[in-house]
């Protein structure tokens, strides 16, 4: 079928298309204008902005922690009619099924779950497979597991560590690697309760810095497109900007991605010893071209924090709202679920302002990514309002006028006039994520790209415009019209498949049989375990 989207304002920075024109789709791909000019169907996009489908690089949408949060907070579930279910996961109030629908309505077509414990890979992929419409991907967590820490302690060769990373990524069907408070979960088991970049993990004698640098080098040498995704030490603590600054300096010219930098944007100024240090971090990021970051913007209201940073979640349990929480300490990765309400008080104001400062002061939209660290800073459903804050200074100033003046006195937000352009939004939410993740077939509207297309009806109300897409196409299928789902389809999980050396597989097999008394086969699974047609799409590593 040949589809024409005509007379829209095309915003495609990758291919330099910024203006009125037509877009053509055939068999799920974008194509050049055909000679005949005859379409099987035509959609009039006059008065609309046409962009590639949006990509969210960091959103907790699947896995054990997400389901535990659903069980912990049944009162937060939105009641809706359950579909005829193939799995129990589809029946939760805020279900995997509804997640895909809500993203698609906003024009998002690819989302990355950034924290998959390798031993929960099958569970995670089963849940992601139950999310309709959008494509998904995962990042495998390493950096607190005994096998890796023992290899670093014993001075294993870089090649051996690369083989272990390759095996983990391939066997878990991941698109990259994440490290969460490197070494802290292992230290937590020894009753350590604070852990910084140069602190040493008891029983292993390796520092957090050493773990990060080891994984950073392995990811880079393996040609994994996405740089090591780092959840730094000391998340949320006053003075955490010092930790973030030290981690940025540790990149040393090798690509490194820092997750939810807003949660490290805090200084110690003022009577309360809590202030925004976002301007300082933005300056460091601007001066470090090898570093990319996502924000983790805070928005006011009730949410739940979900993290495999067991040390941080354990320390945060006293601020739970409502007063309930779950902390679990696993073999390699622990974690915690702590509900939280962001209030427009002094502390909430600092957090809200720090995230916006980072968005507005980091000058290169190719290196800053649009996230709330869903649901940690806020649910992804607040994205339309956040777009408005970035594109309209009056909108954010109106909110700021109602917030703590003493908190804003320790922020530069009031002095920032920058407003994002639609082209910068397209870079930050489409072109740059595709580049960062190695997804050459999306994030743009050039010939050969997968036909993931979002069409927005232009209007003065930015939140309404970007929160309710006029049209959304997924692989050429029309899935959203006027902000409502018109057609369901199944997306795929995007994964890498770097080949590990046979020697590391044998070593891992011996390790698991000795350590757990279980075959390594218990920690892997065939593609057929995901009961979808072609559940995975392989993405190549860099040559």
Overall average pLDDT of the 402-426 stretch: 98
| Residue 56 in domain | yes
Counting Cα atoms < 13 Å in the Cβ hemisphere of 357 gives 30
Query: Could you give the angle at which helices 208-222 and 158-171 cross, rounded to 10 degrees?
Result: 70
Helical spans, DSSP H, in 80-120? 96-105
Tokens representing 151 are 């290899």
pLDDT value for 79: 42
pLDDT value for 36: 82
Is the pLDDT confidence value at 85 over 90?
Answer: no
Counting Cα atoms < 13 Å in the Cβ hemisphere of 42 gives 9
Helix (H, G, I), strand (E, B) or coil at 329: coil
Full domain range(s) for residue 523: 495-538
For the beta carbon of residue 79, count every other beta carbon within 10 angstroms. 6
pLDDT value for 86: 47
Biggest distance spanned by C-alpha atoms of the chain: 71
pLDDT tens for residues 321-380? Answer: 999 999 998 878 889 999 999 999 999 999 999 999 999 999 999 999 999 999 999 999
| Residue 98 in domain | yes
Q: Are residues 406 and 530 in the same domain?
A: no
Q: Are residues 509 and 406 in the same domain?
A: no
| Residue 390 in domain | yes
Place of tokens 């494509």: 135
Q: Are residues 326 and 465 in the same domain?
A: yes
Tokens representing 203 are 């029983």
Overall average pLDDT of the 526-534 stretch: 92
Question: What span, in angstroms and rounded, lies between the C-alpha atoms of 106 and 516?
Answer: 45
Contacts of residue 236, Cβ cutoff 8 Å, sequence gap at least 6: 263, 266, 312, 316
Tokens representing 504 are 């590391």
Beta bridge partners of 473: 453, 478
Q: Are residues 388 and 502 in the same domain?
A: no
Question: What span, in angstroms and rounded, lies between the C-alpha atoms of 369 and 372?
Answer: 10
Q: Are residues 449 and 505 in the same domain?
A: no
Q: Are residues 339 and 383 in the same domain?
A: yes
Is the pLDDT confidence value at 249 over 80?
Answer: yes
Is the pLDDT confidence value at 87 over 70?
Answer: no
| Residue 488 in domain | yes
Helix (H, G, I), strand (E, B) or coil at 177: strand
Residue from 220, 218, 215 nearest 231 by CA: 215
Overall average pLDDT of the 102-129 stretch: 96
Q: What is the DSSP letter of 207?
A: E
Q: Are residues 297 and 165 in the same domain?
A: yes
Question: What span, in angstroms and rounded, lies between the C-alpha atoms of 166 and 158?
Answer: 12
| Residue 23 in domain | no
Total structural domains within the chain: 2
Q: Which residue has the higher pLDDT, 55 or 84?
A: 55
**DSSP secondary structure string for all residues of 20-68:** EEEEEEETTEEEPPPSS---SEEEE-TTEEEEEPEEES-B--SSHHHHH
At 84, the pLDDT band (50, 70, 90 cuts) reads very low
Overall average pLDDT of the 507-531 stretch: 92
Residues 510-539 as b or e (16 or more Cβ within 10 Å = b): eebeeeeeeebeebbbeeeebebeebbeeb
Helix (H, G, I), strand (E, B) or coil at 291: strand
pLDDT value for 291: 98
Residue from 144, 49, 38, 6 nearest 421 by CA: 49
At 67, the pLDDT band (50, 70, 90 cuts) reads confident
pLDDT value for 63: 86
| Residue 534 in domain | yes
Q: Are residues 86 and 184 in the same domain?
A: yes
Is the pLDDT confidence value at 94 over 80?
Answer: no
At 309, the pLDDT band (50, 70, 90 cuts) reads very high
| Residue 344 in domain | yes
Tokens representing 159 are 């090649």
Question: What span, in angstroms and rounded, lies between the C-alpha atoms of 473 and 12?
Answer: 16
| Residue 409 in domain | yes
CB 459 within 8 A of CB 502: no
Q: Are residues 57 and 104 in the same domain?
A: yes
Is the pLDDT confidence value at 505 over 50?
Answer: yes
Q: Are residues 412 and 534 in the same domain?
A: no
At 442, the pLDDT band (50, 70, 90 cuts) reads very high
At 77, the pLDDT band (50, 70, 90 cuts) reads low
For residues 77, 129, 471, 394, the Cα torsion angle rounded to the nearest 10 degrees is 50
pLDDT value for 80: 37
pLDDT value for 96: 83
Q: Are residues 412 and 528 in the same domain?
A: no
- CATH number, residue 87: 3.20.20.140
Place of tokens 């820092």: 258
Q: Are residues 160 and 178 in the same domain?
A: yes
């Amino acid at each position: 079928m040949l589809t024409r989207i005509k007379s829209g304002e095309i915003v495609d920075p990758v291919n330099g298309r910024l203006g009125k024109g037509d877009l053509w789709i055939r068999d799920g791909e974008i194509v050049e204008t055909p000679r005949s000019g005859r379409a099987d169907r035509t959609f009039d996009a006059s008065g609309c902005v046409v962009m590639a489908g949006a990509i969210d690089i960091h959103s907790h949408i699947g896995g054990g922690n997400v389901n535990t949060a659903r069980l912990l907070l049944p009162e937060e579930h939105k009641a809706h009619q359950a579909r005829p279910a193939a799995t129990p996961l589809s029946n939760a109030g805020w279900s995997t099924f509804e997640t895909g629908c809500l993203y698609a309505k906003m024009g998002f077509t690819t989302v990355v779950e950034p924290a998959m414990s390798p031993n929960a890979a099958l569970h995670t992929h089963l849940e992601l497979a139950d999310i309709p419409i959008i494509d998904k991907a995962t990042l495998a967590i390493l950096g607190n597991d005994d096998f890796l820490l023992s290899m670093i302690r014993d001075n294993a060769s870089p090649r051996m560590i690369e083989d272990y990373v390759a095996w983990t990524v391939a066997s878990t069907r991941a698109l990259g690697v994440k490290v969460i408070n490197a070494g802290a979960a292992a230290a937590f088991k020894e009753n350590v309760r604070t852990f910084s970049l140069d602190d040493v993990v008891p029983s292993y004698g390796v520092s957090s810095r050493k773990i990060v640098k080891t994984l950073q080098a392995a990811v880079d040498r393996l040609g994994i497109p996405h740089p090591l995704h780092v959840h730094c030490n000391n998340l949320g603590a006053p003075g955490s900007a010092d930790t973030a600054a030290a981690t940025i300096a540790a990149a040393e010219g090798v690509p490194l991605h820092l997750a939810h930098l807003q949660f490290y944007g805090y200084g110690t100024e003022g009577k309360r010893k809590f202030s925004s240090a976002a301007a300082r971090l933005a300056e460091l990021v601007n001066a470090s071209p090898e570093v990319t970051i996502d924000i983790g913007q805070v928005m006011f209201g009730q949410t739940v924090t979900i993290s495999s940073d067991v040390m941080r979640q354990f320390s945060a349990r006293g601020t739970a709202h409502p007063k309930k929480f779950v902390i679990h300490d696993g073999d390699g990765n622990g974690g915690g679920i702590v509900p939280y309400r962001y209030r427009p008080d002094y502390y909430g104001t600092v957090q809200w302002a720090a995230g916006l400062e980072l968005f507005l002061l980091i000058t290169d939209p190719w290196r800053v990514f649009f996230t709330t660290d869903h649901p940690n800073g806020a649910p992804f459903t607040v994205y339309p309002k956040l777009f408005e804050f970035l594109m309209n200074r009056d909108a954010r100033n109106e909110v700021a006028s109602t917030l703590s003046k003493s908190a804003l006195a320790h922020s530069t937000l009031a002095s920032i006039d920058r407003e994002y352009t639609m082209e910068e939004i397209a870079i930050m939410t489409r072109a740059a994520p595709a580049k960062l993740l190695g997804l050459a077939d999306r994030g743009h509207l050039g010939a050969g790209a997968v036909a993931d297309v979002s069409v927005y009806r232009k209007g003065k109300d930015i939140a309404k415009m970007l929160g309710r897409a006029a049209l959304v196409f997924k692989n050429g299928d029309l899935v959203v019209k006027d902000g409502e789902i018109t057609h369901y389809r199944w997306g795929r999980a995007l994964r890498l498949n770097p080949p590990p050396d046979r020697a590391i597989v044998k070593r891992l097999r011996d390790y698991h049989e000795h350590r757990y008394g279980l075959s390594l086969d218990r920690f892997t699974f065939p593609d057929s375990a995901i009961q979808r047609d072609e559940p995975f799409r392989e993405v190549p590593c860099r040559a």
